[in-house]
């Protein structure tokens, strides 16, 4: 067995190899023949004794070195037998055929048996070495994963901002802007920092886009050592023409050929729900591990929400409750996110029947609004007041959490024995996903909730 194997080698003496093993085979065979002649000159091979002890030499060599060397040792014994017979040794005048056949067959069987097991052990050694190699690779990969996980934990622990909270913070900054100032100019640095947080890019710039879809070459804000934007950059032209995120192919980046077409790797338009492009994000350097469909889709979603905020007028931002125009805009944005990026949103229609607690219940629902939630209070065609609650970037499970929280508030206010039904509250919900689309949302609002198109525009 190989000494470098992971298994323990249990042989009493290390085996020789090559010429040394052949010398050992011939020398041992000659020594036992000489020893037999010294012990019994009349029967030097001990053929007619109680046991032919000299056959142990080829048997041991067959066990130690395998078939070939054992066979050579057996042939030496048989050759010695014929030599003694030819020299006139009377005891061997009649050829002992059983001795010759027995020595040859037993030696070949033991040698072949030994070779078979050596091949099996070699295969096991190879399999074990492969497993050891894979284990070493797995150990290194696990160690790297542990380090990456620890770094990610530290990064997440140091950054408590989610997508919803980031957009909410940007909305708060816009609300504090002085009247008459362009939000895109004042908040360009904050917007670029927010986008870099989710895109992980190192060198990028944010450019204003005019109403005629011409880009201002001078950046509003930049990070890293950005180069001047060319007036005819191919990626910028395609981005403005299509109104969608445009990036170079990954294989071009791997070969370093992307510079032939554009100095940028990614261009993202800040486009609102009315297809108006407010600004353009041009990324020059982005880590390859971040250059994935998931990250690029997240950038497109975030840029769309930021564009909606930038296009919202100051009076709407100052309102405590969102009006129908803002609600419709946010609803369109959530629908676009669901259709184009498979990003869910959830909506509730809370209708209050006539009763003594109706006004208090509606105020309770309106006061339960969270940061990015959008509400609109209207009277439906059944004559009942209705509060439409839109939960952007929220799945169906998140919607159920909102209902659970609202139910807990009602229990605190009106008692544990009260429920939505007992208080005359009828709740309808709709999951905004990419499957139903715009027509399903229209049927929900106009048919089930009895809302008309003058109250909510889809």
Task: Give the separation between CA 237 and CA 231, rounded to whole angstroms.
Answer: 9
Measure Cα distances from 225 to 190, 202, 204, 231, 248 in Å.
18, 9, 8, 19, 20
**In this predicted structure, what is the pLDDT of residue 319?**
42
Residue 115 in tokens? 């070779």
The Cβ of residue 193 has, within 10 Å, a number of other Cβ atoms equal to 13
Q: Does 319-448 match 163-312 at the fold level? A: no
Task: Give the separation between CA 80 and CA 74, rounded to whole angstroms.
Answer: 10
Q: What DSSP assignment string belongs to 295-323?
A: HHHHHHHHHHHHHHHHHS-HHHHH-SS--
The Cβ of residue 260 has, within 10 Å, a number of other Cβ atoms equal to 9
What is the maximum alpha-carbon separation in the chain? 135
**In this predicted structure, what is the pLDDT of residue 163?**
66
**In this predicted structure, what is the pLDDT of residue 316?**
46
pLDDT digits (tens, 9 = 90+) for 346-390: 889 888 888 777 788 888 888 877 777 888 888 888 888 888 888
Task: Give the separation between CA 208 and CA 220, rounded to whole angstroms.
Answer: 7
Task: Give the separation between CA 85 and CA 92, rounded to whole angstroms.
Answer: 5
CATH number among 3.30.450.40, 3.90.190.20, 3.90.650.10, 2.40.110.10, domain 163-312: 3.30.450.40
In the chain, where are the structural domains located?
19-133, 163-312, 319-448
* Alpha helices (H) along 342-381: 358-367
Work out the mean pLDDT of the chain and round it to a whole number: 79
- What's the average model confidence in pLDDT over 153-161? 53
Per-residue confidence band for 6, with pLDDT thresholds at 50, 70 and 90: very low
Q: How many CA atoms lie within 13 A of 192 on its CB side?
A: 25
**Is the pLDDT assigned to residue 320 strictly greater than 50?**
no
Q: Sign of dihedral through CA atoms 360, 365, 368, 373?
A: negative
What is the DSSP code (8-state) at residue 159?
Answer: -
Could you tell me if 205 and 267 are in contact, meaning their C-beta atoms sit under 8 angstroms apart?
Answer: no
Could you tell me if 376 and 388 are in contact, meaning their C-beta atoms sit under 8 angstroms apart?
Answer: yes
**In this predicted structure, what is the pLDDT of residue 256?**
59
**Which is it for strands 221-223 and 345-352: parallel, antiparallel or unpaired?**
unpaired
252-266, 276-290, 404-418, 423-437: which range is least confident on average?
A: 252-266
Task: Give the separation between CA 366 and CA 387, rounded to whole angstroms.
Answer: 8
Q: How many CA atoms lie within 13 A of 431 on its CB side?
A: 12
Could you tell me if 179 and 193 are in contact, meaning their C-beta atoms sit under 8 angstroms apart?
Answer: no
Task: Give the separation between CA 369 and CA 390, rounded to whole angstroms.
Answer: 10
Task: Give the separation between CA 60 and CA 333, rounded to whole angstroms.
Answer: 86
Q: How many CA atoms lie within 13 A of 416 on its CB side?
A: 0
- What's the average model confidence in pLDDT over 10-31? 71
pLDDT digits (tens, 9 = 90+) for 60-94: 888 888 888 888 888 888 888 788 777 777 677 77
Task: Give the separation between CA 39 and CA 45, rounded to whole angstroms.
Answer: 10
CA angle (274, 278, 281) in 5-degree steps = 125
**Is the pLDDT assigned to residue 280 strictly greater than 70?**
yes
Buried b (16+ CB within 10 A) or exposed e, 313-326: eeeebeeeebeeeb
123-132, 267-276, 349-358: which range is least confident on average?
A: 349-358
- What's the average model confidence in pLDDT over 390-409? 85
18-32, 133-147, 396-410: which range is least confident on average?
A: 18-32
Which overall architecture, per CATH, does domain 319-448 show? 2-Layer Sandwich (3.30)
**In this predicted structure, what is the pLDDT of residue 258?**
62
Residue percentage of the chain with pLDDT more than 70: 83
Task: Give the separation between CA 381 and CA 48, rounded to whole angstroms.
Answer: 121
Could you tell me if 31 and 61 are in contact, meaning their C-beta atoms sit under 8 angstroms apart?
Answer: no
Residue with more model confidence, 335 or 153: 335
Q: Is 46 left (phi over 0), alpha (psi -120 to 50) or beta?
A: left
Could you tell me if 281 and 303 are in contact, meaning their C-beta atoms sit under 8 angstroms apart?
Answer: yes
Give the contacts of 142 (CB within 8 A, at least 6 positions apart). Answer: none
pLDDT digits (tens, 9 = 90+) for 158-211: 444 566 667 777 777 776 665 444 678 888 888 888 888 888 888 999 999 988
Torsion of CA 203, 209, 212, 214, to 10 degrees: -30
């Amino acid at each position: 067995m190989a000494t470098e194997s992971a298994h323990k080698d249990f042989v009493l003496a290390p085996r020789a190899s090559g010429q040394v093993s052949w010398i050992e085979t011939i020398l041992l065979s000659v020594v036992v023949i000489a020893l037999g002649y010294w012990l019994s000159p009349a029967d030097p091979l001990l053929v007619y004794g109680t046991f032919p002890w000299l056959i142990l030499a080829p048997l041991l060599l067959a066990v130690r070195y395998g078939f070939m060397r054992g066979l050579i040792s057996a042939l030496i014994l048989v050759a010695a037998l014929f030599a003694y017979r030819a020299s006139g040794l009377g005891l061997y005048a009649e050829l002992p055929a059983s001795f010759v056949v027995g020595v040859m067959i037993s030696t070949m069987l033991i040698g072949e048996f030994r070779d078979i097991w050596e091949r099996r052990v070699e295969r096991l050694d190879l399999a074990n070495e492969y497993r050891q190699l894979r284990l070493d690779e797995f150990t290194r990969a696990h160690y790297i994963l542990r380090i990456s996980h620890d770094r990610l934990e530290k990064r997440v622990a140091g950054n408590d901002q989610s997508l919803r909270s980031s957009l909410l913070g940007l909305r708060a900054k816009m609300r504090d802007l002085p009247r008459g100032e362009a939000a895109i100019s004042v908040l360009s640095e904050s917007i670029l920092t927010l986008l870099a947080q989710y895109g992980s890019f190192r060198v990028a710039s944010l450019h204003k886009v005019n109403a005629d879809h011409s880009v201002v070459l001078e950046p509003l804000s930049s990070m890293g050592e950005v180069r001047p934007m060319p007036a005819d950059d191919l990626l910028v032209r395609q981005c403005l023409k299509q109104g969608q995120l445009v990036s170079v192919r990954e294989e071009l980046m791997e070969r370093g050929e992307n510079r032939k077409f554009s100095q940028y790797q990614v261009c993202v338009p800040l486009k609102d729900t009315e297809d108006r492009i407010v600004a353009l994000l041009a990324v020059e350097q982005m880590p390859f591990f971040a250059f994935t469909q998931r990250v690029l889709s997240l950038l497109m979603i975030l840029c769309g929400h930021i564009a909606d905020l930038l296009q919202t007028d100051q009076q709407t931002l100052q309102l405590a409750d969102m009006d129908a125009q803002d609600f419709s805009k946010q609803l369109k944005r959530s629908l676009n996110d669901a259709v184009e990026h498979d990003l869910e949103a959830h909506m509730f229609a809370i209708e209050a029947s006539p009763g003594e607690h109706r006004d208090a219940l509606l105020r309770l629902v309106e006061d339960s609004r969270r940061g990015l939630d959008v509400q609109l209070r209207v009277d439906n065609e059944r004559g009942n007041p209705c509060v439409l609650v839109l939960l952007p970037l929220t799945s169906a499970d998140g919607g159920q959490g909102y209902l659970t929280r609202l139910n807990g508030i009602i229990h605190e206010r009106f008692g544990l024995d009260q429920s939505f039904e007992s208080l005359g509250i009828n709740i309808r919900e709709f999951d905004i996903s990419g499957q139903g689309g715009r027509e399903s949302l229209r049927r929900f609002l106009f048919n089930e909730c009895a809302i008309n198109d003058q109250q909510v525009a889809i």
